Homo-oligomer: A and B are copies of this chain.
């Protein structure tokens, strides 16, 4: 790749020769859509953002004021790679009280968003060519983060129970896998939650196959219907690395997430984290910790659940009333997304283009698959639109769809 005179190493022309690892990393198609949909006359179900009207602005403002007043110099200094200990203790305690999971704070690593948790786990576990199990459809950010380390993905379809156990079993018999990545609660993009029975079956297989499981749970606290299911961590503790995030329950702009990992893995993660960005913003950790101990987080989360629950109801109702009966869709019990499947293998990209003309946006399913191009599925976000917008937007989509059918 060097444009050089082979006889004289000091006779070359500058030419950027990139690493092979970046070749297969997909760009975010969603970002491109968001640019189109940023026109305020658009109704957008394309985003993946929490609703900013629910951010605890005043609580965070007060927390910030307090940390500046009480510890001004120290909150501005470098800090430890592992993260602020009291914040890790808070997280450990919440696992115990809210999910019945015993976690030692020394097994919690604070990360720059849970996206960084994915990068670090990819870094420490994946060699080029390693087999990795993901869901189909899968969280795009995980595909991106792990792709950098050049695994071979096998995607296991989701159904209304969770993961398709028969297909998973078949895959486990065909290859050895290094890692299994899943979002068992209100999955992004599908909104699907694994049932209790499905969790047990999947966990049993993963345990028997000796595979590291990454259990990503950014939306777990945002349940507005039904009962909480057991974390995979309680079923197969040695296999599971848990990822968590404050982005959906406090605010995303701090970039605060965490990984829970057994000692042996934790040590590797700390070395990788140090090489990657030394540590996560310490002032961000201090502000959010102050907010968590001074405010009523449970009450705040209940507000989010109430709001998202109503928005989800509006979207389900609008789809039932306005869309052709042949359209299938998931019924999420929490989170921010709903997954819609068109009849007769109609193309969601074609629908997307027709919808853009009508100033309504969503994310066609394509980027959530590792090896499918034209699909009939799409992701709809309901957390950032009010009921009127939802009825209007679904109405416009329905019109466009009827034209196609």
Contacts and interface: CB of A to CB of B under 8 A. Distances in A.
A2 interface: yes
Number of copies of this chain that the complex holds: 2
Interface in A133-153: 141, 144-145, 147-149
Interface string A62-79: 001100100011111111
Given A53-B73, A275-B25, A281 B254 contact: yes
A52 B64 contact: no
A210 B275 contact: no
A145 B73 contact: no
Contacts of A126: 19
A47 to B, nearest CB: 9
Interface in A222-260: 238-239, 247, 251-255
Contact of A148 (B4, B57, B123, B282): B123
A4 B176 contact: yes
Contacts of A2: 176, 210
A7 to B, nearest CB: 11
A405 interface: no
Given A149-B19, A210-B4, A271-B25, A253 B78 contact: yes
Interface in A41-58: 49-50, 52-53, 55, 57
18 contacts: A4-B176, A9-B209, A11-B208, A12-B208, A13-B210, A19-B127, A21-B123, A25-B271, A27-B271, A52-B73, A52-B77, A65-B65, A77-B251, A112-B112, A112-B280, A119-B275, A119-B276, A145-B276
Given A11-B208, A76-B251, A76-B252, 7 more contacts: A21-B123, A52-B73, A55-B77, A61-B68, A148-B276, A255-B278, A281-B281
